[in-house]
Amino acid sequence: MRATVMYGAHDVRVETVPDAKIVEPTDALVRVTRACICGSDLWPYNSMPPSKTGNRMGHEFIGIVESIGADVRTVKKGDLVVAPFAWSDGTCEFCQQGLQTSCLHGGWWGGTELDGGQGEAVRVPQANGTLVALPVGPDHALMPSLLTLSDVMGTGHHAALRANVRPGKVAAVVGDGAVGLCGVIAARRLGAEQIIMLGRHADRIAMARKFGATDVVSERGDAAIERVRELTGGLGAHSVLECVGHGESMRTAVGIARAGGAVGRVGVPQETTIPNAQPTFYANITIAGGPAPVRAYMLELMPDVLEGRIEPGLVFDRVTNIDGVPEGYRAMNDREAIKIMIEF
C-alpha cells in the first residue's frame, strides 16, 4: 500500500510500505477514504532531524472497516468510521473520565511502529474504544465536517471548554489556523456573546466572521493586547482559546485574559515555561488545556454536524490525492492553504 513518510524537515515522501494488517484481536483494519494534513504536522515538517527509517504520518482519518480482530464488537466489516487523533481502549480509568488522550492502553498514530492516517490503510489498535461508526455513506456531502471531528473541531471545542466559555461572555481566540477557526465555532456554540479573533490573514478572518467572530484584532504582541483591552472595556476576555503554541501566542493569550478568567490552551507548547507567572497569579487566571480527548466529544458534536448547525468542514480550502501530500505540506507551511483534505 502507499503511505506518507516524513524523513526529516521538509522531506515528505509518498512510498510503498508493507500492507496494514490485523495483529492483535482488538485491532481493526480500516481502508482510508479521507484524511488530512494537520497544523501540528508542520512542527516536525520544520524541525525533524534527518531519519533513515522515517516516520509514518497522519492522525485524522475516515475509512471503511475491511476486517476486524476476534475481540472487536463495536464496529463491523463495511462500517464507515471516523478515528480520533489518539487511539484508546474506552474502558480504563481515564477513558471512563472522558480523557482518552491519557488512556492507559492507548497511544498515537504513525511514527515508526504504527500506520498513519495519510496512507491507504491503517491498522487500528483498540478498535472497540477508538472508532466511531458514521450513520452516512462515504461520499456524503458532510464528509469534510465529519472529518474535523477527528481533530480540529474537537480540539477547538476542548479549548473552549477549558477556557470556560459561557453564554453572554467574552471569548477571544488566539490563532487563525483550522483549530482557531473551529474554536470560534465552539465559542459561539457554547453561547459566547462577543468573540474576538486574533489573526492576520484576510481569508481566515473572513471565515472566522462567517463562523461567528464579532471582532478581529490583527495587531501583534503588546498592540494586540491593548486592542483587546479596548474592545472589552479595559478588562480583557473571560475566556481565551490559545490555538497556536508559540511563546508569543501564549504571551498574548495570558495578556488578554481578564482577572478571574481562563486560558484554554490546545496549541502544542513550543516553550518550556508559561509566560508572565506573576501577573497571571495576581489576576487569578486559570491556565488549562492539553491534547483534546476528541473521542469524548465526537458523539456530542456529531448531531450538530449532521443537522447542519455547524459546518467546520469549511476549513478545508484545498483537496488533493495521496500523490499531492508533499505539496500539501508545503502549501500549508507557506500559509497558502488553511487545511488540506486528502481523498483516496
Q: Interface with Zn ion by CB under 5 A: which residues?
A: 88-89, 92, 95, 103
Q: Of 138 and 290, which CB lies nearer to Zn ion in the complex structure?
A: 290
Question: Nearer to Zn ion by C-beta: 42 or 114?
Answer: 114
Q: Is the Cβ of residue 63 or residue 293 nearer to Zn ion in the bound state?
A: 293
All cell numbers assigned to 227? 486592542
Report the C-alpha gap between 231 and 28 in whole angstroms. 50
Residue closer to Zn ion, measured from CB, 69 or 175? 69
Closer residue to Zn ion, CB minimum distance, 103 or 213: 103
Residue 113 phi, psi (nearest 5)? -105, -30
Distance of CA 208 to the CA centre of its chain: 16
> How far is residue 248's CA from residue 185's CA, in Å, rounded to a whole number?
24
Residue labelled with grid coordinates 491534547: 291
Instruction: Pick the closer one to Zn ion by CB: 95 or 266.
Output: 95
CB of 333 to Zn ion, least distance (A): 33
Count other C-beta atoms under 10 Å from residue 170's C-beta.
27
How does DSSP assign 141-184, residue by residue? TTHHHHHGGGTHHHHHHHHHHHTT--TTSEEEEE--SHHHHHHH
Give the shortest CB-250-to-Zn ion separation in angstroms: 29
Q: Which residue number, 60 or 89, has a Cβ lying nearer to Zn ion? A: 89
Query: Which is closer to Zn ion, CB of 97 or CB of 112?
Result: 97
Closest contact distance (angstroms) between CB of 43 and Zn ion is 26
CA dihedral 119→40→133→190, nearest 10 degrees, is -160
Neighbours of 153 (CB within 10 A): 34
C-alpha cell recorded at residue 276: 508572565
CB of 256 to Zn ion, least distance (A): 35
Q: Are 131 and 124 in contact (CB under 8 A)?
A: yes
In 51-161, which ranges are E strands? Answer: 55-56, 61-68, 80-83, 86-87, 107-108, 121-124, 132-133
- Shortest approach of Zn ion to residue 100 CB, angstroms? 6
Tell me the closest approach of the beta carbon of residue 152 to Zn ion, in angstroms: 23
Shortest approach of Zn ion to residue 296 CB, angstroms?
11
Q: Are 203 and 226 in contact (CB under 8 A)?
A: no
Closest distance between Zn ion and the C-beta of residue 84, in Å?
12
